[in-house]
């Protein structure tokens, strides 16, 4: 059966779910970001980039990989890297072979992210993980996998 796409107003239940999703990011996830920023001086964006450099690339990563992993627009990443470069957290360098740009974490970046990890872990546990049981977690992870797949098309 082909289901017609409805443009009727959202029902109360649908709206409730939609608002729950908005609040999830606006309120709960923001708490983690604010905590990190207040205690380490790294913005959420800074943390996202430095942690990926360390975890995905052991300190160096093609700019493209960073971009894909963050899901950002390229100009946003470029501006962000420029700012972080002036703060000596990382530097851009050329890949051996070709023309691509690589991004390398600098000592100050390493020190900062290492200091931020425990703060991040505490905040994530305190504001979020603590409130989710194992069964709910499993449901959420499956859901997100499905959503991601559907958006790839």
Q: Which does 37 bind (CB under 5 to 8 A by kind): a copy of itself, DNA, none?
A: DNA
- Residue 62 forms beta bridges with which residues? 102
Among 39, 51, 59, 62, binds DNA (CB under 7 A): 62
Q: What Å distances lie between residue 130 and 17, 124, 126, 127, 140, CA to CA?
A: 22, 8, 6, 7, 15
Rounded Cα distance, 122 and 143, in Å: 25
Rounded Cα distance, 9 and 76, in Å: 35
Q: Looking only at residues 8 through 37 of this chain, which bind DNA when binding is defined by CB under 7 A? A: 37
Q: Which is nearer to a copy of itself, 93 or 140 (CB)?
A: 140
Angle between helices 44-57 and 107-127 (to 10 degrees): 110
CB of 117 to a copy of itself, least distance (A): 6
Site track for DNA across 90-129, x = CB under 7 A: --x-----xxxx----------------------------
Rounded Cα distance, 110 and 93, in Å: 17
Q: Which is nearer to DNA, 19 or 146 (CB)?
A: 19
Query: Where do contacts with DNA occur on this chain (CB under 7 A)?
Result: 37, 43, 45, 62-64, 67, 72-83, 92, 98-101
């Amino acid at each position: 059966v082909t289901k017609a796409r409805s443009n009727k107003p959202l029902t109360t239940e649908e709206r409730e779910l939609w608002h729950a999703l908005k609040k999830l990011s606006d309120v709960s996830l923001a708490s983690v970001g604010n905590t990190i920023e207040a205690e380490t001086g790294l913005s959420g964006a800074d943390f996202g980039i430095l942690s990926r450099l360390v975890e995905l690339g052991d300190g160096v990563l093609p700019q493209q990989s960073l971009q894909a992993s963050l899901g950002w627009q390229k100009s946003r990443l470029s501006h962000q890297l420029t700012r972080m470069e002036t703060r000596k957290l990382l530097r851009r360098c050329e890949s051996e072979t070709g023309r691509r740009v690589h991004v390398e974490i600098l000592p100050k970046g390493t020190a900062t992210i290492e200091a931020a990890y425990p703060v991040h872990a505490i905040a994530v546990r305190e504001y979020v993980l603590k409130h989710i049981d194992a069964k709910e977690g499993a449901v959420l992870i499956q859901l997100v996998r499905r959503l991601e797949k559907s958006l790839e098309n």
